Structure 1
Amino acid sequence: MDRRTFVKSAGAASVVGMTGLAGCLGGDDDSRTWMIPWGEGGGTDTYARQMQPLAEEELDGSIEIENREGAGSMIGSEWLHGQENDGSVFGTVNPAGWSFTWRASEIDDWHPDDFEPIAYSGIFGYTLIVNDEYEIESFDGLRDAYEDGDISGFGYQGAGSDSHLTTLLLRDEYGLEYDNAVPYDGGGPTQEAVISDEVGAGFATNTSAVSAEESGEASAVVNLMDIDLDGVFPGIDSITNYGDSLAWITEFYQVQVAPPDTPEDERQELSEAIQYACEHEETQEWMEETGNIVEYGDMDAAAEQYVGSVDAIEENVDEAIGGFDEFQRMAEEADDD
């Protein structure tokens, strides 16, 4: 039986819901904006659109999702940092990858620790998806296909991002000799590029990989996390079969944060709405059907995921490749190839 038949539907959450309007800020007290720093259709966007109507129920008000993708989530994060601190706007960020991209971008105007914690709502991470035309079923098969010139192009989620480093590690440490690495603004656009065969393979979160398989044009072939995905993608190959774990750079939390100095009472109201959405029967059913990990963490638990995370990611990068200067050298060398 085709492995795709085992994949359950992610539901309409991945494709429906209104894109928020910047004009909703500062008006109706019952209207809030939920900023997603990635394009529509990716993992973070899919989680948010699953939670949105349920959070609205608890708040008894409207939430508009606004996608502000670009620069590996830094454009949306910078925008969120500058918004009003009245509780009318919040966003989702994805440490530790978010912390990595901030550090690699050498941003001086703001720091991840500046944001105020609200909650976290789930855990997810990266897989590799491959266009079905190539009939590749393992990482070893993908390596051979690139080496033999049978497949072309490898998509990742933003220059200077966590997936950029992982792309370089897959080449240098795991022997994935792709001919051309192409950055996209998040999982949705990367997934579309693989489905259309603009690139033969690329990154997808385990969340967006479900819809990639449902398209009938691509399959999740490699799990880059330590989290077991066999229940969703039966027989999926694991990168740990070929080297050390990459979980430190390929697993992320869905953390909701508010602009600096947003009052605790405003954040607590949002945190309770996220909790309601996480624990609601509809979300629990969605989790069981899709294999997505939904888990609520309160404000303190959310803060633990990103406050001080830059120091932690620096230690991990130092241990893995010798530091961020080495990452910049690797990236520049790859650009010159």
Structure 2
Amino acid sequence: MTGLAGCLGGDGDTRTWMIPWGEGGGTDTYARQMQPLAEEELDGSIEIENREGAGSMIGSEWLLDQDDDGSVFGTVNPAGWTFTWRADESLDWHPTDFEPIAYSGIFGYTIIVNNEYEIEDYGELRDAYEDGDISNFAYQGAGSDSHLATLLLQEEYDLNADNIVPYDGGGPVQEAVLGGEVEAGIATNTSAIDAVDSGEASAIVNLMDIDLTDTFPEIDRISEYGDSLGWLTEFYQVQVAPPGTDEDTRQEISEAIQYACEHDDTQEWMDDTGNIVEYGDMAAAEEQYNDAAIEEIESNVDDAIGGFDEFLNLAEDAE
């Protein structure tokens, strides 16, 4: 859904909230829950604009070039966002170019499987690939955090999928699994809820350290099969503004995000779905993608796979 940003300065202002993933994914779902509540606090309209592609880099680059008058802001998902930026050697900008606004929640990755195959846990999924009963596995964007997660599942957790397939976000992965294009794939825990509710798929593996048993009582945990992947598979919903957006303007949007997070409707949505809603102010948002956070990602990738060069080599070999 495309929105045109209006001029600010009075009642009836229109802002554009850019989501760098497709409709139906976790980032999009959070934004659409909070959009009407944030509008109440801002006393103006917010139109969500999905600009998916390249593991969220297309939307990020678009946001980088927008006006700094508060008419446009977006959501990014560190640590996955900073990982994908670091892995793309062609980009000439830095995450810290963006101005922090707030963060509004924490979510991450699960594995969903089409119910036709009657797979209930990671052990059965691994066996189904090994035996040739299934062959395809979906992830969320070439060069992204979920790409590395998939490669680690292959290298360290014996997931011998013949064909790993990139899609632009959790929503498209969900559609591919439900439609039978792929048998299984990485979705966010937020989009996995819709997949399970459809009756056509199950969320069978939690790739995070966050406990999801309230939402998916029977879900397996990848940490039972090897080291934790939480450093790579859980991330924050961070709202950012184009470079140069002044602090007062960002504070106004931050207060609207806080209002939306703490509203009874959102709290009820959190209780009903198990999605984690949490407000963080500008300083807390900035901590998720500052230089120290990026250095931590680099260190973790070094420990997990020998560095970004090795990741890019493995990703190229997998194509």
For residues 172-211 of structure 1, the aligned pairs below 5 Å read: 172-211=155-194
The CA RMSD measured in Å over matched residues stands at: 1.0
Q: Which residue of 2 aligns with 1:152?
A: 135
Q: What is the deviation of 1:228?
A: 0.3
Q: Which residue of 1 aligns with 2:118?
A: 135
Q: Which residue of 2 aligns with 1:311?
A: 295
For residues 77-156 of structure 1, the aligned pairs below 5 Å read: 77-156=60-139
Distance in 1 between residues matched to 2:95 and 2:217, nearest whole Å? 37
In terms of mean alpha carbon deviation, does 247-256 or 104-113 score higher?
A: 104-113
**Does 2:35 correspond to 1:65?**
no
Distance in 1 between residues matched to 2:7 and 2:66, nearest whole Å? 10
**Runs of 4+ in structure 1 displaced over 4 angstroms?**
25-29
**Does 2:310 correspond to 1:329?**
no
Change (3 A) 1:71 1:169: same
Matched-pair contact (CA < 8 Å) for 1:126–1:204:
yes
Structure 1 residues 43-90: Cα deviation after superposition (integer angstroms, max 9, x where no partner): 000000000000000000000000000000000000001100000000
Q: Which residue of 2 aligns with 1:15?
A: none
Distance in 2 between residues matched to 1:258 and 1:49, nearest whole Å? 18
Structure 1 residues 226-246: Cα deviation after superposition (integer angstroms, max 9, x where no partner): 000001000200000000000
**Does 2:2 correspond to 1:20?**
yes
Distance in 1 between residues matched to 2:146 and 2:298, nearest whole Å? 16
Q: Which residue of 1 aligns with 2:15?
A: 32
Distance in 1 between residues matched to 2:14 and 2:92, nearest whole Å? 28
Count of residues in correspondence between the two structures: 316
Matched-pair contact (CA < 8 Å) for 1:42–1:208:
yes
Distance in 1 between residues matched to 2:215 and 2:77, nearest whole Å? 22
Q: Which residue of 1 aligns with 2:255?
A: 272
Instruction: Find the partner of 1:320 among 284, 293, 304.
Output: 304
Matched-pair contact (CA < 8 Å) for 1:32–1:63:
yes
In structure 2, what residue type is equivalent to 1:323? G
Matched-pair contact (CA < 8 Å) for 1:126–1:206:
yes
Instruction: Find the partner of 2:207 among 219, 224, 227.
Output: 224
Distance in 1 between residues matched to 2:126 and 2:97, nearest whole Å? 41
Q: Which residue of 2 aligns with 1:3?
A: none
Q: Which residue of 2 aligns with 1:16?
A: none
Q: What is the deviation of 1:332?
A: 1.4
Distance in 1 between residues matched to 2:2 and 2:29, nearest whole Å? 15
Q: What is the deviation of 1:27?
A: 7.3
Distance in 1 between residues matched to 2:36 and 2:91, nearest whole Å? 36
Q: Which residue of 1 aligns with 2:153?
A: 170
Distance in 2 between residues matched to 1:205 and 1:71, nearest whole Å? 17
- Point out where structure 2 has 5 or more consecutive residues left out of the alignment: none
Distance in 2 between residues matched to 1:89 and 1:108, nearest whole Å? 22
Distance in 1 between residues matched to 2:111 and 2:303, nearest whole Å? 24
Structure 1 residues 270-312: Cα deviation after superposition (integer angstroms, max 9, x where no partner): 0000000000000000000000000000000100111122222
In structure 2, what residue type is equivalent to 1:90? F
> What is the TM-score normalised by the length of structure 2?
0.97
SS of 2:190's equivalent in the other structure is helix
Matched-pair contact (CA < 8 Å) for 1:25–1:89:
no
Distance in 1 between residues matched to 2:268 and 2:8, nearest whole Å? 35
SS of 1:234's equivalent in the other structure is coil
For residues 280-291 of structure 1, the aligned pairs below 5 Å read: 280-291=263-274
Distance in 1 between residues matched to 2:208 and 2:44, nearest whole Å? 37
Distance in 2 between residues matched to 1:255 and 1:24, nearest whole Å? 20
Matched-pair contact (CA < 8 Å) for 2:8–2:71:
no
For residues 249-268 of structure 1, the aligned pairs below 5 Å read: 249-268=232-251
Matched-pair contact (CA < 8 Å) for 2:193–2:273:
yes
Q: What is the deviation of 1:333?
A: 1.6
Distance in 1 between residues matched to 2:111 and 2:262, nearest whole Å? 30
Q: What is the deviation of 1:168?
A: 0.3
Distance in 2 between residues matched to 1:274 and 1:27, nearest whole Å? 18
